[in-house]
A and B are shown apart, each in its own frame.
Chain A
Amino acid sequence: MVDAEPGRSREPGRAGQYEPAPRWVKVLLVVGGLLVVGFLVMLLSGGGHGPGRHTGLPAAARAAASP
């Protein structure tokens, strides 16, 4: 029996026989996905984006900053 290299016990190339993505990739995808969803929710809820729109700057300052 040939010793398989760690993490490479299955030969890739045929359908259903690919090595799955490592855990760190899945964690990164989940975190990135949550950030994108949060950003989209913020935009769609009318929060806007950019200076003065992140943490509730006074309306007067926002008005002053707008062109």
Chain B
Amino acid sequence: MTSAAASPGTPSGPSRTPPTAGRMGPRTRKLWLTVHVSVSVGWLGAVAAFLALAVTALGSNDADLVRGAYLAMDVTGWWVLVPLSVACLLTGVVQSLGTHWGLLQHYWVLATLVINLTATVVLVMFLGTLGELTGKLRATGLNDAAVLELRDPSPVVHAAAALVVLLLATGLSVVKPRGRTRYGQRRQMRAVSAIPPADSA
């Protein structure tokens, strides 16, 4: 979730880097930003829907509803959450590398990258374990009592945690808190020293 919309001159932006440092033109940058924001917000919404399914499955005494909710979670996870998380990661990396922000120069970009990577890895691992549960639910001959026994708080815990970290990443992307990494400070120093003084002519 690195909405690295380069805006040189803003208080939190890399205002002293030369204008040629960005690699994307304005149109390309806006296109990538639109795609990145779309998949990021889509991911957040999909996690909210996943959480609703998880809460429904955990709290219901209707075996059909429980079975349906877990199967829907499995499908949603692999066909919506994973593609969106990977798309968010890829577009975020492209967006940051193609703008003045850079991938490793600002703490907020680095933090959103780590959050995105971690969330994606945990998501894939979690869906593997969820698959064990849905595998049992797909098996024939499982009576209602056995289905209700399989109700599990784990999807609620994972989805709630995902919602919190994705909201945190969204907040970081919007606020863009100040702070450069050491690498970013070295880059900034080199960029500043490359600009000739205004009164040198």
Chain A residues within CB distance 8 Å of chain B = 7, 11-13, 18-19, 21-22, 24-25, 28, 32, 49-55, 57-58, 60-61, 64-67
Report Cα–Cα, A17/B92, bound state, in Å: 30
Cβ contact within 8 Å between A50 and B130: yes
Report Cα–Cα, A58/B104, bound state, in Å: 45
Interface residues in B, total, Cβ within 8 A: 31
Cβ contact within 8 Å between B185 and A22: no
Task: Tally A-B pairs: CB < 8 A.
Answer: 79
A and B contact pairs by CB, cutoff 8 A, 21 listed: A7-B178, A12-B188, A13-B186, A18-B182, A19-B179, A22-B178, A24-B177, A25-B107, A50-B126, A50-B128, A50-B130, A50-B154, A52-B152, A61-B149, A64-B136, A64-B149, A65-B136, A65-B150, A66-B132, A67-B132, A67-B136
* Residues of chain B with a CB closer than 8 A to A25's CB: 107, 111, 179
Chain B residues within CB distance 8 Å of chain A = 107, 111, 114, 125-126, 128-130, 132-133, 135-136, 146, 149-155, 157, 177-180, 182, 185-186, 188-190
